[in-house]
Amino acid sequence: MSRPRRVVIVGGGISGLATAFALQEQAAAKGLSLECTVLESGSSWGGKIVTHRIGDLVTEAGPDSFLSQKHAGLELCAKLGLTDQLINTNETGKRAFVLHGSRLHELPEGLVSFVPRQLGPFLRSGLLSWTGLARMGLDVLIPRGSSDGDESLASFFRRRFGPQAFERVLEPLMAGIYAGDAEQMSLKATFPRFFELEQRYGSIIRGMTAEKKQTPPMSSSGPKRTMFVSLKNGLGDLVTALQARLEQQGVECRLGCRVDALRVRSHQPGRWMYDLILNEGSAVSAEHLVLATPAYVSADLLRPLTPIAGGLLEMIPYASTATIAMAYPAELVAGAVEGFGFIVPRIAGRDLIAATWTSLKWPHRAPAGQVLIRCYVGGVGREGVLQFDDAKLVATVRAELTALCGIAAEPSYVEVNRWWKAMPQYTLGHLNRLDQLDAALSRYPGLVLTGAGYRGVGIPDCIRDGALAAAKIIQDVAGTHPA
């Protein structure tokens, strides 16, 4: 029996924890013995996933849900025994709004995966002029673009649907997810499906209609899931269950351990030992290393080893945002809140980028008689507002709510969560840079990068990428140390 192989994972966000979980699972399946350690600089697990419970209120400082269509999130919940805790959005109130001019307009129904298959609902929404609508319909006639190179989200959707549909509806829906600027975002890295639809069908509307026809009807077995799902008592329960499972499996989980530097020593021909220098001066060594830290942290750690990789990682910018949760006695906001909330297009030039009526969207987030709201500010090019102190930030957001939906009441609870350099931006050329990064790191076998900075920012993307990172480590362990 060979000695257990040591793997160190740096970063205890969902990416790092999911990597550790997948490592245990894959090692067991292959009969490999691993000693796994997760090092987290913070005082709690989960990174951006932070749930607060204040009396009967459940607030999410960061993510509040995840996409059910990307299966990795649901699958991990099932493996952790959390399936009965999963909740759907409240389908009876399923309406959302977008600011246009000085008032909120209902978003057209049928905006499946952001793009309409029918133009009728757009017509009724009053969001587009007749010419804007006609221009949108031209998508079925406009020839496909080149498959070479990269195109920005803004350029692609203006080209296919015209400026009105892009600026008034698609930009806030799509760029909003990344708190990004659609002029700089890479289509292939952020929404590859639309690139593929155009290449395959020559039109997004035709492609989506064709694919809808080909999609087999949903299986009636298993509970029906809405597009976004969450956990009854908040996503923090996913982190708690995951970390508890890792501890049970013998994974060493260390909080308050910031990795300040990374050194390598030659170990065997073509192999390295990675020495991690911790904040309190001690070192941890491993032959297999996963960096599940934000790209700019990984850049600092890797620069002394490979300035090329450091430089490429530095080129992944991060946007800063803040979420402001506010609770109100329901009677004070009656009539002002309906549906799930609203989004604000960049062209509106406002500080608020979106608001969610949290307790209308998710059951169990506020006690009866209270309404919980969550507002979003910041993002690329709109970060100035984050310099305000909490009082001014809250006053700014409240003034926006008064102007846009008439909520002038004093909230009974307020919580401000700032997220500095939190949202990775997949700018033009991102996928190319990832290829170059792989090439630069090929000299360092046993070293793998994972996390939101690379192949998807959503929670299911991070879980799936963690499993891929684990598979690379397992392959490396099995290849270099056959049992």
Binding site for ligand FAD (CB under 6 A): 10-16, 39-42, 47-49, 62-66, 258-259, 292-294, 297, 321, 323, 419, 422-423, 451-452, 457-459, 462
In this structure, the number of other CB atoms found within 10 A of the CB of residue 222 comes to: 9
Take residue 114 and report the two structure tokens written for it: 């952001």
Nearest residue (CB) to ligand FAD, 153 versus 325: 325
CB 185 within 8 A of CB 152: yes
CB 355 within 8 A of CB 401: yes
What does the alpha-carbon distance between residue 97 and residue 94 come to, in Å, rounded to a whole number? 10
Nearest residue (CB) to ligand FAD, 164 versus 306: 306
Kindly state the smallest distance separating residue 431's Cβ from ligand FAD, in Å: 18
Nearest residue (CB) to ligand FAD, 198 versus 465: 465
Kindly state the smallest distance separating residue 458's Cβ from ligand FAD, in Å: 3
Residue with tokens 């160190």: 8
CB 412 within 8 A of CB 328: yes
Kindly state the smallest distance separating residue 219's Cβ from ligand FAD, in Å: 24
Nearest residue (CB) to ligand FAD, 71 versus 200: 71
What does the alpha-carbon distance between residue 16 and residue 161 come to, in Å, rounded to a whole number? 39
Nearest residue (CB) to ligand FAD, 206 versus 258: 258
Instruction: Please state the separation of Cα 346 from the chain's center in Å.
Output: 20
Nearest residue (CB) to ligand FAD, 204 versus 242: 242
Kindly state the smallest distance separating residue 336's Cβ from ligand FAD, in Å: 23
Intra-chain end-to-end CA distance of the chain, in Å: 7
Nearest residue (CB) to ligand FAD, 40 versus 167: 40
Which residues, at least 6 apart from 416, have a Cβ–Cβ distance to it below 8 Å? 322, 323, 324, 390, 393, 394
Instruction: Please state the separation of Cα 475 from the chain's center in Å.
Output: 27
Nearest residue (CB) to ligand FAD, 19 versus 164: 19
Kindly state the smallest distance separating residue 11's Cβ from ligand FAD, in Å: 3
In this structure, the number of other CB atoms found within 10 A of the CB of residue 267 comes to: 13
CB 159 within 8 A of CB 225: no
Nearest residue (CB) to ligand FAD, 93 versus 145: 93
Instruction: List C-alpha distances in Å: 46 to 96, 185, 270, 456, 459.
Output: 29, 27, 35, 17, 11
What's the one-letter identity of residue 114?
Answer: F
Kindly state the smallest distance separating residue 423's Cβ from ligand FAD, in Å: 6
Kindly state the smallest distance separating residue 355's Cβ from ligand FAD, in Å: 13
CB 430 within 8 A of CB 279: no
What's the one-letter identity of residue 335?
Answer: G
User: SS3 for 245?
Assistant: helix
Kindly state the smallest distance separating residue 243's Cβ from ligand FAD, in Å: 12
Kindly state the smallest distance separating residue 424's Cβ from ligand FAD, in Å: 7
Q: How buried is 160 (Cβ within 10 angstroms: 0-12 exposed, 13-18 middle, 19+ buried)?
A: buried
What does the alpha-carbon distance between residue 29 and residue 354 come to, in Å, rounded to a whole number? 44
Q: How buried is 141 (Cβ within 10 angstroms: 0-12 exposed, 13-18 middle, 19+ buried)?
A: exposed
Residue with tokens 């840079």: 433
Nearest residue (CB) to ligand FAD, 21 versus 419: 419
Kindly state the smallest distance separating residue 437's Cβ from ligand FAD, in Å: 16
Nearest residue (CB) to ligand FAD, 204 versus 452: 452
Kindly state the smallest distance separating residue 103's Cβ from ligand FAD, in Å: 26
**Residue 456 DSSP class:** -
Nearest residue (CB) to ligand FAD, 197 versus 319: 319
Take residue 459 and report the two structure tokens written for it: 């929670």
Nearest residue (CB) to ligand FAD, 17 versus 128: 17
Nearest one of 244, 290, 295 to 470, comparing CA atoms: 290
Residue with tokens 């905006």: 111
Kindly state the smallest distance separating residue 188's Cβ from ligand FAD, in Å: 19
Take residue 185 and report the two structure tokens written for it: 């975002």
Instruction: Read off φ and ψ for residue 373, nearest 5 degrees.
Output: -120, 145
Kindly state the smallest distance separating residue 263's Cβ from ligand FAD, in Å: 14
